[in-house]
Copies of this chain bind each other. A is one copy, B any other.
Amino acid sequence: MNASRLRADAAENRARIVEAARSVVSASGELKLNAVARRAGVGQGTLYRHFPTREDLLAEVYRHDVEELVAAAPLLLAEHDPVTALARWFDRVADYARVKREVFAAVEVGVWQDLSTGSVGPIGDAITALLDAGRAAGVVRPDVDARDVILLLGCLTRLDDAEWDTRARHLLHVVLDGLRLREG
């Protein structure tokens, strides 16, 4: 649908840019926009037209990972009680994030990509499902939404590698506790 509205050369360029970005990221761990453009054999303008911000490009590069994350939510809910499902899902986010920190940018942009429509994006939907289940079971506080959770998870991005192992899970536990309904 989207592709068919693109001119043939534009579609090809877009694909080449994404591929170039992927290889630049996996080679250097960094993402330099002009390096991507050079490698893809396109001009800077072309790159920026297809992906206005660095995050848009990242979102495309990591779309596969994001989709996996999204798909995991209902599976976890089917197997576990809501709080455990949420905890496991957080663990999964942490796993992705340790290896490729950039996934977070993709997640964040993925969540808000159609902010205007009122929808909250695929990741937002996954989180909403987890929260809803918890609310229905009376174990998650009713006044949080997906955006809140995304924001809270965002604190992981500030961790540096050295402290990741000691702190990441721990922070997620604290966040999880904050999301749970306090009985009493």
Give the Cβ gap from A154 to chain B, nearest Cβ, in Å. Answer: 5
| A64 within 8 A of partner (CB) | no
CB <8 Å contact, B151 and A171: yes
| A158 within 8 A of partner (CB) | yes
| A182 within 8 A of partner (CB) | yes
Give the Cβ gap from A63 to chain B, nearest Cβ, in Å. Answer: 21
Q: Which residues of B contact A170 (CB under 8 A)?
A: 143-144, 148
Give the Cβ gap from A126 to chain B, nearest Cβ, in Å. Answer: 19
A141-158 CB mask vs B (1 if < 8 Å, else 0) is 101100110011011001
Q: Per a CB cutoff under 8 Å, which of B151, B178, B180 touches A176?
A: B178
| A165 within 8 A of partner (CB) | no
| A32 within 8 A of partner (CB) | no
Q: Which residues of B contact A97 (CB under 8 A)?
A: none
Among residues 129 to 184 in chain A, which have CB atoms less than 8 Å away from a CB atom of chain B? 141, 143-144, 147-148, 151-152, 154-155, 158-159, 163, 167, 170-171, 174-180, 182-184
Q: Which residues of B contact A108 (CB under 8 A)?
A: 158
Q: Which residues of B contact A177 (CB under 8 A)?
A: 141, 177-178, 180, 182
Q: How far is the CA of A183 from the CA of B143 in the complex (A)?
A: 21
Q: Beyond the given A151-B167, A174-B179, A177-B177, please list 10 additional residue pairs across the A-B interface where CB-CB is below 8 A.
A: A144-B170, A148-B171, A148-B174, A151-B155, A151-B171, A152-B171, A155-B155, A174-B175, A174-B178, A180-B182
